[in-house]
Amino acid sequence: MELSKKLQQLPPQFFASLVQKVGAAVAEGRDVINLGQGNPDQPTPPHIVKALQEAAENPITHKYSPFRGISELKEAAADFYKREYNVDIDPSTEVAVLFGTKIGLVELPMAVLNPGDLMLLPDPGYPDYLSGVVMADVQYETLPLVAENHFLPDYSMLSEATKERAKLMYLNYPNNPTGATADLEFFNQTVAFAKENGIAVSHDFAYGAIGFDGVKPVSFLQAEGAKEIGIEMYTLSKTYNMAGWRVGFAVGNKEMIEALNLIQDHLFVSLFPAVQHAAVAALGENQLCVTALVDRYENRRNTFINACQQIGWQVEAPTGSFFAWLPVPKGYTSQEFADKLLNEADVAVAPGNGFGEFGEGYIRVGLLVDEHRLEEAVKRIGELNIF
C-alpha cells in the first residue's frame, strides 16, 4: 500500500538527517558535543514528578479523560496567565488542552482554514509549521526575519495582495532559532495589522519563560485587543523540563479555541489525566525551579558567547530562548560549516538553512550542555583556525 498523496507531500524531517549524522559519529567512538538539539537536558522538577506519581496511583485517572481536558488544568492555565502576565482568561471558553503545542500548531490550520487559503510563516522558523500547511492543504508565504530588523517581521514589506489573501499568521518569541525577543510595542503593532487586514494570529510562546538580562518575555496576549484576533500556545516542555510529557495549552480567542477543541474531539480523548494533574502542580506551585533554570541558561549563554568572542567569532548574545544564532564565516554555506564542525571538531550544530531561506548563513546552537562542554566545543572550533 502506498502512502497517501498528503503524506508524500510532507516536508522531510529536518532534524532526522542531523540525528543520523551525529549517531554515526558517536558509533565510531567519537566524543561528539551535540549542540544541534532542542531537547532540555535537565530533569523535570521533583515536585512535578511526585504529583504525577500520586495522581497515577488514583484509579480515577485510569479512566478516559474528559474530551477537552480536566477543568483543574484549564483553571490552572487561566490562573497562570493572570499571575504571570495579568491577562484574564476564561477557563471554560478560552483554553484548549494540547498534547504539547506541536500538535496545536499542526492542527490549527486544519481547524480554521479552507484548502487554498493563505497563511504567513516566519522565516527562519520552526520547521514543523510547514507540516500544518500540508495537512490543511493551504498555501503560505514567509515573513523574513533579518538581523537588521532584530529578527522581527516588517509588515510594510508585504504586498497588498498578500495582506488581502492571508487568513492566519504564526509568530514565535522568544524565537526559535534566532533567540530574538519581541516587546509589547511590536505586539501592539501586530494586533493593529491583524485587525486591519482580517488576519488571525497564533503566537508560539514555547520559550516564554526564558528571557535574559532581567527582562521577562512579553506575552502576545498582553497587547490590547489581542484576544479579539488571536491565541497563544504555551508548552510546559521548556519551562518545566517536561518535553517528553507532551502537555501544553492554547489560550485566547474563544472561536479559535473552540476550533481547536472541536478538531481534537475527533482526534483524541485528551491526554492521560495524571499528566494533566502534574501540569496543574507545575503551573500552580512554587516557581523557584523556573528561576533557577533561567539562571542556568543565562550562565551558559554568557560562557558560550564569551568563548566565541575570544576566538574571534563575532556573535550576538540571544535575548531569550536556549538557542544562539551564529553567523557562519565567509566562504561557507550553513550546511558546509555545520558538516565541517562535526567532521573536524566533533561538534554538532543545526545548519540555519533547515529553518528556511533566510536561515542560510547561520547555524543554531542549543545551550543544552553544561558550561564545561560549551567551552570545550568552542575550544575545538577555535583550533580549526577559521576565525
CATH number at residue 229: 3.40.640.10
Same domain, 229 and 294: no
Query: Is residue 58 assigned to a domain?
Result: no
The enclosing H or E element of 167 equals: strand 166-172
Number of other CB atoms surrounding residue 172 within 10 Å: 25
- The closest of 217, 224, 111, 213 to 171, measured between CA atoms, is 217
Q: Same domain for 80 and 204? A: yes
- Please indicate, yes or no, if residue 56 is contained in any of the structural domains: no
Q: Are residues 82 and 139 in the same domain?
A: yes
Cell, residue 368? 543544552
Domain membership of residue 213 (yes or no) is: yes
Count of domains forming the chain: 2
pLDDT at 246: 97
- What local confidence, expressed as pLDDT, does residue 298 receive? 98
Q: What is the pLDDT of residues 65-90, one digit of tens each?
A: 999 999 999 999 999 999 999 999 99
Which stretches of 225-346 are assigned E, i.e. beta strand? 230-235, 248-252, 323-327
Do residues 35 and 167 both lie within one domain?
A: no
The predicted structure's pLDDT at residue 360: 98
Low-confidence ranges of the chain (pLDDT < 50): none
Q: Pick from 267, 284, 301: which residue ends a domain?
A: 284
Report pLDDT for 47: 98
CB 359 within 8 A of CB 350: no
Residue where a domain stops, chosen among 284, 306, 341: 284
The pLDDT of residue 16 is 82
- On whether both 218 and 71 belong to a single domain, the answer is yes
Range of the domain at 330: 5-44+288-382
pLDDT value at residue 260: 98
Which pLDDT value is given to residue 337?
Answer: 97
Note whether 151 and 263 are same-domain residues.
yes
pLDDT tens digits, one per residue of 112-126? 999 999 999 999 999
Placement of cell 523557584 in the chain = 288
- Where a domain ends, among 229, 249, 284? 284
Same domain, 221 and 73: yes
The Cα–Cα gap between 33 and 200 comes to: 41
In this prediction, residue 123 carries a pLDDT of 98
Q: What is the pLDDT of residue 13?
A: 79
Residue 57 lies in a domain: no
In this structure, the answer to whether residues 123 and 38 fall within a common structural domain is no
Q: Domain of 358: which CATH number?
A: 3.90.1150.10
Side chain identity at 182, as an amino acid letter?
A
Distance from C-alpha of 51 to C-alpha of 284, rounded to nearest angstrom? 12
pLDDT the model gives residue 37: 87
**How confident is the model at residue 15, as a pLDDT?**
79
